[in-house]
Structure 1
Amino acid sequence: MTVTIKDVAKKANVSIATVSRILNHKPGFSKETEDKVLQVIEELGYYPNGVARGLISKRTHTIGVLVPEISSMLMSDFISGMEQVTHAYGSSVIVCHTEQQGQKTTQYLQLLQEKQVDGIVFTSEVLLQEHYQLMKDMGKPIVLLSTESYDYPVPYVKVDDRRAAYSATEYLIQNGHKKIGMVSGSREDSIAGQPRIDGFTAAMQAHDLPVTETSIVPTGFTFEEGVKGFTKLIGQFPDITAVFAASDEAALGVLSVAYQMNIKVPEQLSVIGYDNLRMAEMSTPPLTTVAQPSVEMGKKAVEMIFQMLGTHKTVESRIFPHTVIERQSVQSLTT
């Protein structure tokens, strides 16, 4: 026999409204009443119907998250941060793997609309007009994570990719390197590809160092793309002394190729990555990298969703600081 909220209220000798307030974390009851109701819920084995709760509170206690690459360690860190906050609010996340496919993104947004999620976090992709319109039509809070839009008024959480890339390149220069190359994201990627290339180029030019077509290989951010990119880079720039890889995963690809080619890191080649993923300190040698606080960024994105749900007002975007984490993959040539 199915246990209902009425059964809980009757046995606890309280009103249905009181049980509902306790289940939905609303005020208006004593600690003693809460303990009694929770004890009865446990005794009866009552499981609140999520749909029914949603009808009462106008909330489904779910946040939709769209990610371009589910296997990415960066996405894993973002999701970890988001889940910590959603669970603290008594909610959960629905993760949608878009694979950077426009049609798949549209289908997932339609699914999230059907699920009546309370808000959406859109990560690491360019926000297209059709996707923005779909989310706007839902009338739910939207936050961009690790991306931003110049076209649409949507708050975002990210680091300044151009400045962070500048810092990574300048770190190599300050350590005496002049022949520096970059394994980057695609130039067509306006979110993290071209901005990081711009930061690399700006730092080189600020120190009167040459940047040529052979200095930059735009491939992507995965391990495999790092392997491909550095293989090409070392072939066309053989006297290189340092590499800036635009992600830690790509940097591990650089380290792999260097090992296979018997190029010693950092004695013969210095490498700096980007992201400060957990694997960066596990590599051989441990990877020097530019850190973006990915878990904290995921937390902040969801906190902004809940803030907008509570106030029904938009929030200010947040730029997180970046830092260079020194490990053992960069050698100083100045000493």
Structure 2
Amino acid sequence: MYIDKHNITGMVYFGGNFSEIPAQYFQSLPCPVIFVNTVLPNCLDTGTYSSVQVNHYETAWKQMEYLIEKGHKDICMLISSRIDTSIYQVRWQAYEDVLKKHSLEHCLSHVVESDYRCHRAHRNLTGYLTDHPEITAICSSADIMAPGALRAIHDIGKAPGRDIALISFDGIESMSYCVPSIATFEQPQPEMVNYIYDLLLGLMENKRQHQHITFHARFMENESCTGTAGQA
């Protein structure tokens, strides 16, 4: 086993989906493990590992609600893939639930996939927005795709933030330097890193018990949602 071979005494694992992994695999972990933003089973003995998460579902819910509160009724969702089973699937589920709550099920067909690649987001959205001029807002499940969306709006002759709103998730620093700057929910990375570091050292030294904590994302309003639906 890799952990034994390399004498690893602690591990931080990012992402992934282990919801279908049998419980015995978690019970036999050979060293302290902290799962970060990982989809985990609901019925595990949580004393055998630690987890640090962001409130993905609640934050994604706020993303979509924000657009709807601004009057948008034709919203396109920019996602990685329909078969993505990571925490981005959790975000997608929140989008779907909010749209159903507001009887906007027709938006569920407004989905553009990009495989987390900016150039694909640009290419696929350019075509989709051209074919669907009724779209007034884009909800991106990750910041890494958002600049491609911004450029797509520009390239079809519309003004980002005024004609088509754009909201995203993650809080990557570069979002504040786009024109217009992109509205996003920021993961509190410094706080998360410090917590993970302290917890892992404590676990490795047998000074702490396993913990499970959820951090809350912060909204950075910026400029890409300044308009309201129908303003243009």
The TM-score range, normalised by the shorter chain, is: 0.7 to 0.9
Q: Does the CA contact (< 8 Å) of 2:74 and 2:135 recur in 1?
A: yes
1:245 to 132, 137, 140: 140
The worse-fitting range, judged by mean Cα deviation, of 144-153 and 259-268 is 144-153
Name the amino acid aligned to 1:166: W
**Counterpart position of 1:186:** 81
CA shift, 1:244, in A, is 0.5
| Other-structure match for 1:114 | 5
> Identical aligned pairs, as a percentage?
20
Q: Is the 8 A contact 1:145 1:297 kept in 2?
A: no
1:275 aligns with 2:196: no
Cα displacement (A) at 1:129: 4.6
Q: Secondary structure at the match of 2:193?
A: helix
Letter in 2 for 1:113: D
1:180-259 superposed matches below 5 A: 180-259=75-154
1:290 and 1:223 map into 2 onto residues whose CA distance is 19
The total of aligned residue pairs comes to 224
CA distance change for structure 1 residues 192 and 222 in 2, over 3 Å: closer, same or farther? farther
Q: Give the CA deviation at 1:246.
A: 0.7
For residues 131 and 108 of structure 2, the distance between their equivalents in structure 1, rounded to whole angstroms, comes to: 9
Q: Which residue of 2 aligns with 1:292?
A: 187
**In the TM superposition, what is the alpha-carbon distance from 1:319 to its structure 2 partner?**
0.6
What does residue 15 of structure 2 align with? 124
| Residues 38, 86 of structure 2: 8 Å contact kept | yes
CA distance in 2 between partners of 1:245 and 1:180 (Å): 10
RMSD: 2.6
Q: TM-score, normalised by structure 2?
A: 0.84
**1:16-50, CA deviations, whole angstroms, 9 ceiling, x for partnerless residues?**
xxxxxxxxxxxxxxxxxxxxxxxxxxxxxxxxxxx
Determine the structure 2 residue equivalent to 1:305. Answer: 200
Shift of 1:219: 3.3
In the aligned structure 1, how far is the partner of 2:105 from the partner of 2:39?
A: 31
TM-score w.r.t. length of structure 1:
0.60
Q: Which amino acid letter does the alignment assign opposite residue 285 of structure 1?
A: P
Larger Rg: 1
Report the Cα distance in structure 2 between the residues aligned to 1:276 and 1:164, rounded to whole angstroms. 12
* Higher RCO structure, 1 or 2 (CA under 8 Å, sep 6+): 2
Provide Cα deviations, 1:115-172, integer angstroms capped at 9, x if missing partner.
Answer: 3222000001224859x94x87662110011113107543211112121111011111
Structure 2 match to 1:142: 33
Flag the 1:220–1:299 CA change in 2: closer, same or farther, 3 A: farther
Query: Structure 2: how far apart are the matches of 1:171 and 1:263?
Result: 21
What's the CA shift for 1:232?
4.7
CA deviations 1:310-333 (Å, max 9, x no partner) are: 336542211101222101001332
Q: Tell me if structure 1 keeps the 8 A contact 2:114–2:145.
A: no
What is the identity, as a one-letter code, of the residue corresponding to 1:159?
Answer: V
Q: Quick one: distance in 2 between partners of 1:255 and 1:211?
A: 23
- CA distance 1:295–1:233, shift in 2 (3 Å): farther
CA displacement 1:194-222 (0-9 Å, x = unmatched)? 21111111222222323345312233333
Where does structure 2 lack aligned partners over 5 or more consecutive residues?
Answer: none
Q: 2:57 aligns with which of 153, 156, 162?
A: 162
Partners of 1:314 and 1:222 in 2: CA distance? 39
Structure 2 CA distance, aligned partners of 1:332 and 1:300?
Answer: 38
The code of the aligned residue for 1:115 comes to: H
User: Whole-Å Cα distance in 2 between the matches of residues 309 and 188 of structure 1?
Assistant: 36
Q: Secondary structure at the match of 2:106?
A: coil
Between Structure 1 and Structure 2, the one with more helix by share is 1
Residues 284 and 264 (structure 1), Cα distance of their counterparts in 2 relative to 1, 3 Å cut: same
- What code does the residue aligned with 1:227 have? H
List structure 1 runs of 4+ shifted beyond 4 angstroms: 135-138
Equivalent positions of 1:61-76 (< 5 A) are none
Question: How big is the shift at 1:264?
Answer: 0.9
